[in-house]
Amino acid sequence: MTVAPDGRSLAGEVVRLDRLQDGDIEELYAAIGNEQVYAAGFAGGIAGMPADAEAMRAQWIPSSEQRYAYAVRLVADGTLVGTSSLGDVDLTNESIHLGWTGYAPAVWGTAVNPAAKLLLLQHAFEDCGFGRVKIQTGSTNTRSQAAIAKLGATREGVLRRERRQADGSFRDTVVFSILGDEWPEVRKRLEDRLNR
């Protein structure tokens, strides 16, 4: 039986993910509220970058139970370093979207992203019973595409002119997925990366 995420905290050795709360927004803005994070198209690109923490609050505190946004914190010292979400929940088709991910540049290329993805994918497949997890990014965000492929996700294709960006332009969206029967191998790859 497939069930929706329940917002529980997800903890590993590197990061801890807690449901993003209103009180986290000041820290989140300090971590990711800069042009370097938005330059490749995150959250609609530079034009979508919030001017301050209040504007970020309106973007990131979801009003729907269809999206479960998490604050990503380092286990070592509790520093909030980014956010990631599970959303677009489709229980009938056993499908969910892992996305809306942004990290402070200081943790790019570290164990933070694979550790967070391991926790989120484990929750989606093992706790919730989903058969498919979609991960997508803009076609110009080659850094994100490489990170998704490195997880072991399969590139499915490109949705052309799929989403209007904050500046009014349209993005092509590159769609990847991981299926339930692929999860054990993906999990092993992530665990191996984290143990290196």
How far is Cα 157 from Cα 154, in angstroms, rounded to an integer?
Answer: 9
Full-model pTM: 0.94
66 located within any domain? yes
Q: Which domain holds residue 156?
A: 10-195
Lowest model confidence (mean pLDDT) among 41-45, 96-100, 190-194: 41-45
Whether residue 123 is predicted with pLDDT greater than 80 in this model: the reply is: yes
Residue 3 lies in a domain: no
For the ranges 110-119, 121-130, 135-144, which has the lowest average pLDDT?
A: 135-144
Mean pLDDT of the chain, nearest integer: 93
* pLDDT of res. 41: 79
Tokens of 9: 């905290």
pLDDT tens for each residue of 63-79: 666 789 999 999 999 99
- Give helix then strand counts, H and E, for the chain: 6, 8
Q: What is the CATH number of the domain that holds 133?
A: 3.40.630.30
Answer whether residue 2 is part of any domain. no
Question: Does some domain include residue 4?
Answer: no
154 domain residue, yes or no: yes
Into how many domains does the chain fold? 1
